[in-house]
């Protein structure tokens, strides 16, 4: 005869199975209905304050990668974003794995920042220790709770990955998308669920990588798939404090599709010792071969002030591509800061060009002729 305790013991698994079957799904308990958002309208993306480079260039509360080759100025570009954030009153948390305080300080001086604002808002952590993959997300959440509204910067991914790999119980590979997600996942989660201005990861481009590549960063493509935007920073022309050059920024991946689709270019450098670095927007025809041809055309006209030349005469006199020289003439005539004027010739479709600082800009000008 079966005892009462034995019968209860036999029924326990059945009761547990029944209880499990009746318990709501933990996954479905996390459901969020989206219908009301659709009725109200999906909020448009917000952007970081970034007037030094360009507005509407970096998403708020998103994770982005700024990639590029070594010595091309990625760190300088990042400090421009940091400077704008601090001037807008936001703290910046900067985890530095490869530069050191002297180099970072030099970059902040280049941005024209005052020591007081740096001491108040720039939370610089050189070569961080004590990082663990096990509590990586929890540590980031503690940081955001101490400094709400902060911009989080990681310089660079290679250094961060190396530190977290050291603390991991199992080996991590930069070429493994699962390991990449283990590093990026917590940053992404914290960025989107805590009071974070944005998260910006500096990363090195793959060898031979270009802005036109589908994936421009080195190692696993999982990095670019884990973030909201990827930018490729490039030095187009060398620059220093004594010499002006050109840099560019190209958006190579954009999850929301609201960022610039064409490369942005700036003239930088040449500001002189002790002066802050300035980013002057320029167009494609102001750099490289088009810029050289434009300078040669201007020099030709300036050498003979007051004398009028047809397009054909300028094209014949100056070396270079004929279409580029015609475009340079029209651009110079349209530039309000350059005393090159387009004046009517004997035939309306054959204007002449003259360098004349005393003439009112475009006095007697004709419409731009076809090339």
How far is 238 from 361, CA to CA, in rounded Å? 34
pLDDT score recorded for residue 241: 93
Range 63-282 has CATH code 3.40.50.720: no
Cα distance from N-terminal residue to C-terminal residue, the chain = 107
Chain CA centroid to CA 338, Å? 32
**Tens place of pLDDT for every residue, the chain, 371 residues?**
556 565 556 667 777 777 777 777 889 988 999 999 999 999 999 999 999 999 999 999 999 999 999 989 999 999 999 999 999 999 999 999 999 999 999 999 999 999 999 999 999 999 999 999 999 999 999 999 999 999 999 999 999 999 999 888 778 898 999 999 999 999 999 999 999 999 999 999 988 888 888 888 988 888 999 999 999 999 999 999 999 999 999 999 999 999 999 999 999 999 999 999 999 999 887 888 888 898 899 999 999 999 999 999 999 999 999 998 999 999 899 988 899 999 987 766 688 999 999 887 754 444 444 44
Domain spans in the chain, listed from the N-terminal domain onward: 63-282, 288-355
How far is 98 from 56, CA to CA, in rounded Å? 29
Q: Are 163 and 133 in contact (CB under 8 A)?
A: no
CATH class of 288-355: mainly alpha
**322-334 helix and 288-302 helix, angle to the nearest 10 degrees:** 70
pTM to 2 decimals? 0.78
pLDDT score recorded for residue 6: 58
pLDDT score recorded for residue 226: 93
Rounded to whole angstroms, what are the CA distances from 86 to 155, 249, 353? 18, 22, 48
């Amino acid at each position: 005869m079966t005892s009462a305790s034995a019968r209860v013991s036999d029924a326990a698994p059945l009761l547990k199975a029944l209880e499990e079957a009746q318990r709501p799904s933990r996954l479905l308990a996390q459901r969020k209905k989206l219908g009301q958002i659709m009725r109200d309208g999906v909020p448009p993306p917000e952007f970081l304050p970034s007037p030094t480079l360009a507005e509407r260039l970096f998403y708020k509360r998103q994770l982005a990668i700024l990639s590029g080759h070594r010595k091309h100025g990625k760190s300088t570009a990042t400090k421009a974003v940091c400077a704008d954030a601090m001037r807008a009153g936001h703290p910046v948390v900067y985890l530095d794995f490869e530069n050191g305080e002297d180099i970072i300080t030099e970059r902040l001086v280049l941005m024209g920042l005052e020591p007081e604002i740096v001491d108040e808002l720039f939370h610089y952590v050189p070569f961080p220790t004590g990082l663990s993959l096990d509590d990586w997300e929890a540590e980031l959440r503690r940081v955001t709770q101490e400094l709400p509204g902060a911009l989080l910067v990681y310089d660079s991914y290679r250094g961060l990955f190396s530190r977290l790999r050291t603390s991991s119980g199992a080996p991590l590979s930069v070429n493994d998308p699962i390991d990449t997600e283990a590093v990026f996942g917590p940053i992404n989660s914290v960025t989107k669920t805590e009071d974070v201005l944005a998260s910006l990861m500096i990363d090195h481009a793959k060898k031979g990588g270009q802005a036109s590549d589908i994936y421009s960063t080195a190692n696993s493509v999982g990095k670019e798939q884990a973030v909201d935007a990827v930018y490729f920073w490039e030095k187009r022309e060398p620059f220093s404090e004594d010499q002006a050059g050109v840099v560019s920024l190209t958006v190579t991946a954009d999850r929301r599709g609201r960022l610039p689709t064409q490369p942005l270019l700036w003239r930088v450098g040449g500001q002189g010792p002790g002066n802050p670095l300035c980013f002057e927007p320029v167009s494609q025809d102001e750099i490289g071969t088009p810029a050289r041809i434009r300078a040669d055309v201007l020099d030709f006209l300036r050498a003979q002030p007051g004398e009028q030349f047809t397009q054909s005469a300028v094209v014949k006199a100056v070396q270079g591509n004929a279409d580029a020289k015609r475009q340079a003439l029209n651009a110079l005539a349209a530039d309000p800061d350059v005393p090159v004027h387009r004046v009517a010739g004997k035939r309306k479709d054959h204007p002449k060009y003259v360098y004349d600082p005393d003439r009112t800009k475009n006095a007697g000008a004709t419409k731009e002729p076809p090339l």
